[in-house]
Chain A
Amino acid sequence: MIQAMRETARPARAEAMVPAAYTVVDHRRETHDTVTLTLLPGRGTALPRFRPGQFTMLSAEGIGEIPVSISGDPDDQHDGRLVQTIREVGAVSAALCRSEAGSEIGVRGPYGHGWRLASALDGDLLVVAGGIGLAPLRPLIRSALGRREHFGDVTLLAGARSYADLLYPLQLDAWARRRDTAVTVTLDRPDPGWTGRVGLITGPLAETAIVPERTTAYLCGPEIMIKVCADALAARGVPPERIQVSLERNMKCGVGWCGHCQLGPHLLCRSGPVCRWDAVADLLDIEEL
């Protein structure tokens, strides 16, 4: 199918629904249900550069297409490489997670509004990640650490259900060893021998000292975690327009045609996935919106 699509793509303007063929060059198992793929475009099929927080639509041939956030380093996009972290939750994600090096998958994108970092220059960054939510935040963290002198305090709080569920443990260790970065990892269910924090991420969040007027917060994780943490930060005086949250809805096309990813006035594939808290706080208060 990907082959057929390539033949029919018009040279003048590629059709938005036609995936580009990418080859898996690295397959890394992160946890029992999560895999990171490194993808390289075929000749002439490279997509535009991505920005932290954006997503792509990944196709498993004959099975379907799903939105997946980009987890790679935005400063390392040579040869058009894409790094994406996929959690196995359905038929398409399972097939993508099985894609070994050398196999071909379809990619469309990158799509959506990502994390706004420019507005945080010279201020403090507070990154709060729950579970797989760390994946779309990793490009932001790398981008910030690559320009470390432009920011004040950089704090990362990451939560996971158990150590086995913790994403990028070595990366977290490396960041934690930096003197200019504060990292706290908390586990809901600690393994024997775990000496770190235990419990929900709201615990370390409440204990993190912040200067509200200089803080920009970046949140991604389960919707309930985002809501509780954003409300807590707003209550402590962080301006809602400087709390950025990445939201999940059923992004089916990525280009605003299919109508599936609506959240009130938003088509989240266009105005999201990263939204300012002042634009969505009221909407998340309403059940089943």
Chain B
Amino acid sequence: MLFDHPLPEVIDRAGLDQLVKLLQADGYTVVGPTERDGALVLDELAGGADLPDGIGVETGAGHYRLRERADGAVFNHSAGPQSWKQFVHPPRQRVDAPEPVRRLAFIGVRPCDLAALAILDGVLGAAPYPDDRYLARRDQIFVVAVNCVEPGNTCFCASTGTGPAAEWGYDLVLTEQEGEGGHRFLLGTGSVAGEEILDRLTHRTATGGEIREARRAVDDAAGSMGRSMPETDLRGLLNRARGSEHWEQVANRCLACANCTMVCPTCFCTTVEDATDLEGDNAERWQRWDSCFDPDFSYIHGGAVRKSVGSRYRQWMSHKLSTWHDQFGTSGCVGCGRCIAWCPAGIDITAEAAALAEKERTR
């Protein structure tokens, strides 16, 4: 979309601060990446200065560290421990009382996470029973996406078809550039709301050279991802692998800690709990994130259906890559790599998919 835009615009680093201010003036709570506790978290920004200038990340299987960058890049860090899911589908919400809806502006949404929001729309926002609370929150969100020009070691969105270029689903899209000509952001619009903000920003028109450079950087990003899903029909592969002995091998490593489901930007499962005060006069009903790795998740009278860890990992991975298609018409994986980085055992969904494919080939 950026590259189809008739005249991409350019803002500088101060323009980013101005963008945050304009959105705040319009009543948005602006949320974006910011450094805290040794990670880049997603939180409310007081101003553009809260963005992580010059902070990069180093990721690997079971590994995530911040690092100082040689340049001042703001958005060249791969996915952190949180995703935008926490704002549109909160970890805990009361379902039996109204909730004020905040106008949120997301700054720095990567293409993988844009795809994740579209997937959640299909899961929670679709007929026959759309989640009204989800839709009400989603309705109010202004999205500033960033094209990805520096994928990390755990990234594989090029192989899931969900990046590194943002195609749609944003109001504004940025491509960050450093070097000759200074630190700048090419800016494209994806909505009327985005165009209205652009009109109020200090900007200039991009040069042909800047546009070519942006295009090359995004193209290069597609070829420099640390990981990739095997090029095979994953949906069929996972279907055929239900009886595989491989799940037991994964279970030997998997701690069933549920980290992968908590950091996944599309894992949507919830449970509902009632709570009463000590007198029992007032009761509340709360919905909270749940995980298919919890043994109680599949509980029916008589016991859990999925007692073994292997069966729970099989459920998670098969749902993500295969049965999600049956239920919602898309894959549930966007290639963000969070489940790989935040797995304490370093289990890698791309490696497990490759192992299943290899086992099938050699059988």
Contact A257 B129 (CB under 8 A): yes
Look across to chain B and name the residue whose beta carbon is closest to the beta carbon of A63. B274
Does A103 belong to the interface (CB within 8 Å)? no
Chain B residue nearest in CB terms to A1: B283
Residue pair B132, A13 in contact (C-beta under 8 Å) = yes
Q: Are B129 and A8 in contact (CB under 8 A)?
A: no
Given contacts A61-B283, A260-B298, A288-B305, contact A265 B311 (CB under 8 A): no
From B242, B282, B308, name the one whose CB has the most chain A CB atoms within 10 angstroms.
B242
Contact with B along A206-227 (1 / 0, CB 8 A): 0000000000000000000000
Is B192 positioned at the interface, with any CB of A under 8 Å from its CB? no
How many residue pairs link A and B with beta carbons under 8 A? The number is 116
Among A64-88, those with CB < 8 Å from B are 64-65, 87
- Enumerate chain B residues within 8 angstroms of A89, measured Cβ to Cβ: 301
- Shortest beta-carbon distance, A39 to chain B, in Å? 19
Q: In the complex, which of the residues B95, B274, B284, B297 has the most CB atoms of chain A within 10 Å of its own CB atom?
A: B274
B301 near A17 (CB under 8 angstroms)? no
Query: Is A204 an interface position by the 8 A CB rule?
Result: no
Partner of B96, one of A18, A252, A260: A18
Interface flag for A164 (CB, 8 Å): no
Q: Number of contact residues on B: which range applies?
A: 35 or more
| CB of B264, distance to nearest CB on chain A (Å) | 12
B323:A260 contact, CB within 8 angstroms: no
As a 0/1 sequence over residues 1 to 23 of chain A, the CB contacts with chain B under 8 angstroms (1 = contact) are: 10011001010010111100000
Judge whether B131 and A16 touch: CB under 8 Å: yes
Given contacts A8-B96, A16-B131, contact A259 B284 (CB under 8 A): no
Chain B residue nearest in CB terms to A6: B96
Size bracket of the A interface: 35 or more
Cβ of A265: which chain B residues have Cβ within 8 Å of it?
Answer: 322-323, 326-327
Partner of A62, one of B98, B243, B276, B301: B276
A264 adjacent to chain B (CB < 8 Å): yes
Q: Does A118 contact B (CB under 8 A)?
A: no
Bound-complex Cα distance A252 to B299 (A): 10
* B315 interfacial contact with A, CB 8 Å: yes
A18 to B315, CA, bound (A): 29
**Segment among B41-49, B146-154, B285-293 that sits at the interface with chain A:** B285-293
B326 x A260 contact (CB < 8 A): no
* Nearest chain A residue, comparing its CB with the CB of B131: A257
B86: CB under 8 A from chain A?
no
Knowing A257-B129, A265-B323, the reply to whether A287 touches B271 (Cβ < 8 A) is no
Could you tell me if B272 and A258 are in contact, using CB atoms closer than 8 angstroms? Answer: yes
The answer for the CA separation of A252 and B98 in the assembled complex, in Å, is: 21
A255 beta carbon closer than 8 Å to chain B: yes
Interface digits, B123-163 against A, CB 8 Å rule (1 contact, 0 not)?
11000111111000000000000000000000000000000
- Is A64 touching B269 in the complex (CB atoms < 8 A)? no
Residue in B132, B270, B282 whose CB lies within 8 Å of A10: B132
Give CA–CA (A267, B322) in the complex, Å. 14
Residues of A at the B interface (CB closer than 8 Å) are 1, 4-5, 8, 10, 13, 15-18, 59, 61-65, 87, 89-90, 248-250, 252-253, 255-260, 262, 264-267, 270, 286-289
| 25 pairs of residues in contact across A and B, judged by CB atoms under 8 Å | A1-B96, A1-B284, A1-B285, A10-B132, A15-B132, A16-B131, A17-B95, A17-B285, A18-B95, A59-B274, A61-B274, A62-B275, A62-B276, A62-B283, A64-B272, A64-B274, A90-B301, A256-B327, A259-B290, A264-B242, A264-B326, A265-B323, A266-B327, A267-B327, A289-B306
Chain B residues within 8 Å of A, Cβ to Cβ: 95-98, 123-124, 128-133, 242-243, 268-276, 280, 282-285, 287, 290, 292, 297-301, 305-308, 311, 315, 318-319, 322-323, 326-327
